[in-house]
Amino acid sequence: MKKLIQGLLLTFLFLIVPFYTSSTSDFSTLTEEEKIEQEIRLKESMIQTQINDELELFYANLNETTQACFIHEFFDRVMHEAIDSKSLPSIAIAQAAIETGYGRSSKLGNNIFGIKGHGIRVTTHEVYKGKWYKIKANFQYFPTLTDAFNKHSEILARYGAKGYDYNQWIERIKARGYATDPRYSYKIRFVIERYQLHRLDKIQRLKAKIPVERQEFCNPVFNSFV
């Protein structure tokens, strides 16, 4: 958590300090292009402030809902990857939490989503005809967490999951039968809402707006600065 917050703070300082120093100068002496650059830095700093606020609220809620160190460590481990992935962070983190017991089960290595494939053979539990069975199954090997997130994003994209509404993603996962557990979709929703993982969805959406596009401040017809 400390590393992530430090990184966000450094990013914030990088964005706000140049803006502050330039804003203290005579605005009227700036060229039109310099004014645009200043507006861009201001908007980016405002977005970064929103990101920091959402992250602070996320950790405040996490501290209220659990004191288990392993849960905190799990979120710290996967949160950055989830926000930067193509999957919805709330969905990815909730599934990883369910599949690994919040990181306590490491039998699948970086395969934190329980993706079947080749490379690892372990004992697992599956539901068939309403009953739980213990079976041996093959799971895919992933060298890194990034590889696992990429594969997870690819699978859910094939399911047709998209947008920022985690309920729609859950419906696609349920419809396509990601897991044999009949309560799997309920568990995903429970984890998301208990730990307010939807705040990380908002962070992903905000981060996608950085860097701010210059076109937002330009005349689309004459291609000149406003």
> What's the pLDDT score for residue 215?
63
> What's the pLDDT score for residue 207?
93
- Is a pLDDT exceeding 90 seen at residue 52? yes
Tell me the average pLDDT across 61-79. Answer: 93
> What's the pLDDT score for residue 223?
41
pLDDT tier for residue 206 given thresholds of 50, 70 and 90: very high
> What's the pLDDT score for residue 221?
41
Distance in angstroms (rounded) separating the CA atoms of residues 220 and 226: 10
Looking only at the bridges linking them, the beta strands covering 119-128 and 131-140 are antiparallel
pLDDT top residue among 134 and 108: 108
> What's the pLDDT score for residue 80?
92
Q: What is the pLDDT of residues 143-189, one digit of tens each?
A: 999 999 999 999 999 999 999 999 999 999 999 989 888 899 999 99
SS3 sequence of 94-121: HHHHHHHCCCCCCCCCCCCCCCECCEEE
Weakest mean pLDDT among 32-36, 109-113, 197-201? 32-36
* Domain extent listing, the chain: 1-66+209-226
Distance in angstroms (rounded) separating the CA atoms of residues 147 and 126: 25
Tell me the average pLDDT across 72-91. Answer: 95
Query: Of 114, 211, 188, 198, which Cα lies nearest the Cα of 163?
Result: 198
Per-chain mean pLDDT for the chain: 83
Handedness of CA 3, 8, 9, 15 (dihedral sign): positive
> What's the pLDDT score for residue 89?
97
Distance in angstroms (rounded) separating the CA atoms of residues 163 and 201: 10
- Is a pLDDT exceeding 80 seen at residue 191? yes
Residues 6 or more apart whose Cβ sits within 8 Å of residue 5 = 55
- Is a pLDDT exceeding 60 seen at residue 20? no
Distance in angstroms (rounded) separating the CA atoms of residues 61 and 88: 20
132, containing H or E segment = strand 131-140
Distance in angstroms (rounded) separating the CA atoms of residues 104 and 108: 11
- Is a pLDDT exceeding 80 seen at residue 106? no
Q: Is 188 helix (H, G, I), strand (E, B) or coil?
A: helix
Q: Are 102 and 65 in contact (CB under 8 A)?
A: no
Length of the chain: 226
Weakest mean pLDDT among 32-41, 188-197, 204-213? 32-41
> What's the pLDDT score for residue 186?
96
pLDDT tier for residue 204 given thresholds of 50, 70 and 90: very high
Residues 6 or more apart whose Cβ sits within 8 Å of residue 198 = 90, 166, 192
Q: Which phi and psi angles does 21 have, rounded to 5°?
A: -65, -40
pLDDT top residue among 53 and 137: 53
Tell me the average pLDDT across 93-117. Answer: 91
- Is a pLDDT exceeding 80 seen at residue 95? yes
Query: Alpha carbon of 156 to those of 91, 125, 159, 176: distances in Å?
Result: 10, 22, 5, 9
CA 201 to chain centre: 6
